[in-house]
Structure 1
Amino acid sequence: MDKIGIITVSDRASAGIYKDVSGKAIINTLNDYLISEWEEVYQIIPDEQEIIEKTIINMVDNDNCCLVITTGGTGPAKRDVTPEATTAVCDRMMPGFGELMRAESMKFVPTAILSRQTAGLRGSSLIINLPGKPKSIRECLDAVFPAIPYCIDLMNGPFLKCNENVIKPFRPKKK
């Protein structure tokens, strides 16, 4: 079964001060998109770079997640260090994901320019940082998800089958 990691980065959610709605929004969105069977590897952690790095590494290297999606910690506040953690553990960066997510979010809110989402590759896994607001999560995933299955294909990952009535992945036509 395909494994996908979901990491909510939030001091308050990890301390139980409030419920994690952002991670659940990612899970719900993926359930809408995917018809492949998949298993979530889900964690709520504080805004600590070392913990974020270790969690991503564990999900990729030990849990064999083909995709890891983080939410939270992408703003300009001092404790927002998710992009730094992602960059530290990736072999190669994929800046187009962050660029497209910011461009999409700018259609809805002028402060989207403050977001520092990024994406990168570790081994044969794709890691993507999303903002922390559930509405923004769906908007950003709607924008970038069409490229995700093909990216995973190119890294010899599992073939993610999508509900094309909800999201249409891009895959080149076979000749």
Structure 2
Amino acid sequence: MHWKVALLSASDKGSRGEREDTSAQVIRELVEEELGGEIVDYRVVPDEQDEIRAALIEMADYFQADLILTTGGAGLGFRDVTPEATLMVAERTVPGMAEAMRAKALQRTRRAMLFRGVCAIRGRTLIVNLPGDPKGVHELFMAILDVLPAALLQVKGLGRDIDG
């Protein structure tokens, strides 16, 4: 199946054009080469909860993305509010995916426990928070890649539940 993927980068500096969005480039490559998806929307917004929330809603409801991948804003910094914005638009959470990402990263560094990213569902869209650095993006995306197609099918109502 060909997945419609939206990409949201939360970064104050990125939104002002002061920093190149290298994490988004990594995500684009992973989506196209590993998942077989297409980026249907890409935005860079400041670390503002209202702007992140509005972008997530539009990506899910208007663009009807199957998957929204966020990068940035999921650490312990005062302006890191991507998980909160995600939970505000979510109807359900998918804690196992976030746990799997953290578990994989913890094999490399103890600092992975400081990553607060969540995975959630809005309508027929799966939202996955990824870190803001290219290495972390690659590592955490690959930690869930093998289950992403099944998860996306289930969210769309086309796949079997894990007990079915």
Structure 2-normalised TM-score? 0.91
Match of 1:85 in 2: 85
Following superposition, the deviation at residue 158 of structure 1 comes to 8.1
Where structure 1 has 5 or more consecutive residues not aligned to the other structure, the ranges are: 160-170
Match of 2:4 in 1: 3
Residue 144 of structure 2 corresponds to residue 144 of structure 1: yes
SS in 2 for 1:40: strand
Within a 5 Å distance, the mapping from 1:98-113 to structure 2 comes to 98-113=98-113
RMSD over equivalenced CA pairs, Å: 1.8
Match of 2:60 in 1: 60
Moved over 3 A (4+): none
SS in 1 for 2:146: helix
Q: Contact (CA 8 Å) 2:3, 2:36: kept in 1 or not?
A: no
SS in 1 for 2:147: helix
Following superposition, the deviation at residue 157 of structure 1 comes to 6.5
Are the structure 2 counterparts of residues 134 and 157 from structure 1 closer, same or farther at C-alpha, using a change threshold of 3 Å?
farther
Following superposition, the deviation at residue 90 of structure 1 comes to 0.4
SS in 2 for 1:139: helix
Within a 5 Å distance, the mapping from 1:118-137 to structure 2 comes to 118-137=118-137
Match of 1:22 in 2: 23
Q: Contact (CA 8 Å) 1:53, 1:88: kept in 2 or not?
A: yes
Where structure 2 has 5 or more consecutive residues not aligned to the other structure, the ranges are: none
Structure 1-normalised TM-score? 0.86
Task: State the distance in 2 between where 1:9 and 1:51 align.
Answer: 9
SS in 1 for 2:145: helix
Match of 1:167 in 2: none
| AA aligned opposite 1:12 | K
